Structure 1
Amino acid sequence: MRYLMLIYGNEEIWNSLGPEELARLIDEVDGFNAALRESGELIDSEGLVARPRSVRPVPGDVVVTDGPYIEAKEYVGSYFVVEVDDERRALEIARSYPGLRHGVGGLEVWPLMERGWASAET
């Protein structure tokens, strides 16, 4: 099963890290990613640039606005996707994410739909 891990933070949190701590965190995350790649569990991992755009329907149109639709203190700054046997392993990976030890936000774990899921339910 594949899981999407959304990594949250904000500018205040990231700017609170000194240069040495930030460098150490980056090294730890690189090692974390390398270990998951080596195990075959890491499918994808990317940081996100700037704030997103929100695209929402309104009566008779679709509008694009700056930033997340909902005001939030934290936002998604990066993500990774793993493929593992079960949720237990996905949560184990999530708990071991190095940024959590450095207090740089939180992480959400989302199971991804598998192809054919909708037809299997009907």
Structure 2
Amino acid sequence: MRYLINVVHDGPIDPDTVKPETFEAMGGFVAKLAADGILVDAAGLEPVEQATRVDLHDGQIKLLDGPFAEAKEWIGGYFIIQVRDQDEAVEYARQSVEIHRVHAPGMNVIHEVRRIVDEE
């Protein structure tokens, strides 16, 4: 089964303030996922200031350029992994959060784990 793990932060992250050790540890983690055949895709995302929302409310479509004042959480990146079940996907998310805990103290991060619905 494939799972999407969204990497969610409390707000914007300035990459210049993140210690190089954090990027190195995450790079090693992602490389191991790839080597083990678990990783389908992973990437960081550009800051929300460069995003555009296509918003449908009350039958009207609006385009909204970032940043979005009402945003309380920011998706900074994602992983797509291929694993046996939800428990295994959650364990990989926990390992990634642990890297943040060790290498980026004070950073608040959530990893949201969601199964990708495959048509069968």
The TM-score normalised by the length of structure 1 is: 0.78
Deviation string for 1:72-114 (max 9, x for gaps)?
Answer: 3320011110000111110110000022443341111111011
> Which runs of 5 or more structure 2 residues have no equivalent in the other structure?
none
Hey, what does 2:112 align to over in structure 1? 108
Aligned-pair identity in percent equals 30
1: CA distance between counterparts of 2:113 and 2:67?
A: 19
- 1:44·1:82 contact (CA, 8 Å) conserved in 2? yes
Which region of structure 1 is more displaced relative to structure 2, 106-115 or 96-105? 96-105
Q: Which is further off, 102-111 or 61-70?
A: 61-70
Q: Which residue of 2 aligns with 1:87?
A: 86
Secondary structure of the equivalent of 2:71?
coil
- Bigger shift: residues 101-110 or 21-30: 101-110
- Give, in angstroms, the shift of residue 29 of structure 1: 0.2
Kindly indicate whether the alpha-carbon contact (under 8 Å) linking 1:74 and 1:105 is maintained by their aligned counterparts in 2. Answer: no
Are residue 47 (structure 1) and residue 48 (structure 2) matched? no
Q: Radius of gyration: which is bigger? A: 1
Give the 3 Å change call, closer, same or farther, for CA 39–49 of structure 1 in structure 2.
same
Structure 1 counterpart of 2:64: 65
Distance (Å, rounded) in 1 between the aligned partners of 2:57 and 2:71 = 22
Say how many residue pairs are matched: 112
* TM-score normalised by structure 2 residue count: 0.79
3-state SS, counterpart of residue 81 of structure 1: strand
Please report the RMSD computed on the Cα atoms of aligned residues, expressed in angstroms: 2.5
Letter in 2 for 1:110: R
Show structure 1 runs of 5+ residues with no match: 117-122
Indicate how the Cα distance of structure 1 residues 4 and 70 shifts in structure 2: closer, same or farther if over 3 A, else same. farther
